[in-house]
Amino acid sequence: MTVMDQKPAPGHRHGGPQRPPIDATPLLPETEPFRLLGTPDAAKIDPALLTELYGQLVRGRRYNRQATALTRQGRLAVYPSSTGQEACEVAAAMALRPQDWLFPSYRDTLAVIARGVDPVEALTLLRGDWHTGYDPREHHVAPLSTPLATQLPHAVGLAHAARLQGDDVVALAMVGDGGTSEGDFHEALNFAAVWNAPVVFLVQNNGFAISVPLDKQSAAPSLAHKAVGYGMPGRLVDGNDAPAVHQVLTEAVERARSGGGPTLVEAVTYRMEAHTNADDATRYREDAEVEAWREHDPITLLERELNGRGLLDDTTRQAAEEAAEKMAADLRERMNAEPLLDPMDLFAHVYAEQTPQLREQAAMLRAELDAEHDGGQTDHTEHAGAGS
């Protein structure tokens, strides 16, 4: 079958004792993170794209602020903020077409809502009323993955399956710098390259895996260089330069779509806030470092470009801010409503058909709920228990 045909690099096959010389240079990433903002090429970026990115970044920043506030009000159990990383989050969503799939990690709720998922449904996991609050099939967004890098093989399998069926679908999988140390990262990239699967791997290198800095995580020249070992191209991009991230991801998606195979993109960014609201970042990093990154904020960088080109008048700015406020107000209002919980849901989706054991346990819970509802005490002497 042609779909399984691979394009072995020179020397890829064992092929006997004589091997041709190996040239890995086409796979090497940039030596400096790719940038557009502040370079002569910035003038060529479509103004409509710049203003769309701006609107998304402003909305994304507001979303991060609102979600963090909801943790303080007890409305979210926890929130891993992507403040400072909004350019990566929104560019990932914008680079995809409707038929493509996004495979987010737990810090990527912003990318999830930028893809069209209802913000309240995207936060269900972090509110704690269920694990995944949205139907992954509706917007082609896989569940937020908490176990690191485990969603990457899923992206490979889905993209591979789509390609086998002749469907034009690309999967974009998101992971952090810490996640690149996991075995699943390695296995996913290896499978993707061997299968020539239409996958884009986006590593947001935000400097820290909770508290552990990158130099304790990896000795590679860059995380993008890891691509070479798998036989796919690596790209290194400034993760706070929204149009640059958008361009690199769009090119990678197009490459995957056209049968070119997977790409590993490392976006260099910075986690401006602690790992989550439950973390204390002062124990492992200096304020001065955070302040230095504030100068390189994705919104500031984009505003500079927009101002330079006269694209950011008061109306545009106001429209972006108003849209963000509207989203935040709606989120606040709906998150302040108590979620509807049905404890019987605990048994509803364990198997296609409940096992006899789960039917017994569901009946036990039902009886407890009924007793609670009636305000009475459970009669323990009549309790049927599991032995019925």
Contacts to other proteins by CB under 8 A: 1, 3-4, 130-132, 135-137, 142-143, 147, 150, 152-162, 164-165, 171, 183-184, 186-188, 190-191, 194, 345, 348-353, 355-357, 385-387
| Cβ within 8 Å of residue 386, ≥6 positions away | 360, 361, 364
Give which of 121, 54, 61 is closest to 319, Cα–Cα. Answer: 54
What are the beta bridge partners of residue 213?
A: 208
Closest to other proteins by CB, 40 or 387: 387
Closest to other proteins by CB, 171 or 272: 171
| Cβ within 8 Å of residue 300, ≥6 positions away | none
Measured between alpha carbons, how far is 134 from 124 in angstroms, rounded to an integer? Answer: 8
Least Å from the CB of residue 167 to other proteins: 8
Give the chain's length. 388
Measured between alpha carbons, how far is 49 from 284 in angstroms, rounded to an integer? Answer: 37
Q: How many CB atoms lie within 10 A of CB 362?
A: 17
| Cβ within 8 Å of residue 209, ≥6 positions away | 176, 177, 178, 179, 181, 217
Least Å from the CB of residue 206 to other proteins: 23
Give catalytic residue positions. 271, 275, 284
Looking up tokens 């330079």 gives 308
Least Å from the CB of residue 108 to other proteins: 16
Q: Quote the tokens at residue 152.
A: 């990457």
Measured between alpha carbons, how far is 152 from 57 in angstroms, rounded to an integer? Answer: 26
Least Å from the CB of residue 283 to other proteins: 29
Least Å from the CB of residue 79 to other proteins: 19
Least Å from the CB of residue 159 to other proteins: 7
Least Å from the CB of residue 179 to other proteins: 13
Give which of 364, 321, 360 is closest to 343, Cα–Cα. Answer: 364
Looking up tokens 């124990």 gives 283
Distances from the Cα of 11 to the Cα of 7, 16, 20, 23, 262, angstroms: 11, 10, 6, 9, 20
Residue 103, burial from CB neighbour count under 10 angstroms (0-12, 13-18, 19+): buried
Closest to other proteins by CB, 318 or 355: 355
